[in-house]
Amino acid sequence: MNRHERYNPEAVPIIDLVNQVFQKHGLSRGTEHRLVFESWDRIVPPIYIERCKAVSFRNGKLIVAVQSAPLLEELRGFRAAEFVSLLNQDLSVRGEAAHVVVRTIEFRRS
């Protein structure tokens, strides 16, 4: 068998199955972004809200842009696990977001 031939010609690509599940539940990548970004805005303490902003969410990874190097180091070293926990708690109590999980946060200098 040629390596480009499928063993089962009726096989469905996994991405199609994932998209079907998301559509069935009324979800899309845009919806996930919105839900995570809204939760971020709710859980971040006021002293940080103006200096760090959620910019991307994909495959469970939230990317947050941070304005200063000292704050970046503080968030990376001391607050990342706390924020992941707070985000997931916030998302879990919201009916439409109960399936969304933030696995990691990557803080980057903006």
Q: Which domains does the chain have, with CATH numbers?
A: 27-109 (3.30.300.180)
Which carries the bigger pLDDT value, residue 45 or residue 10?
Answer: 45
Site of tokens 């996930």: 32
Over residues 11-15, the mean pLDDT reads: 72
Residue 63 has pLDDT above 60, yes or no: yes
Contact 95, 104 (CB under 8 A): no
> How many residues are there in the chain?
110
Over residues 83-108, the mean pLDDT reads: 90
pLDDT digit string, tens, across residues 19-53: 666 666 555 567 888 999 999 999 999 999 999 99
Confidence (pLDDT) at 50: 93
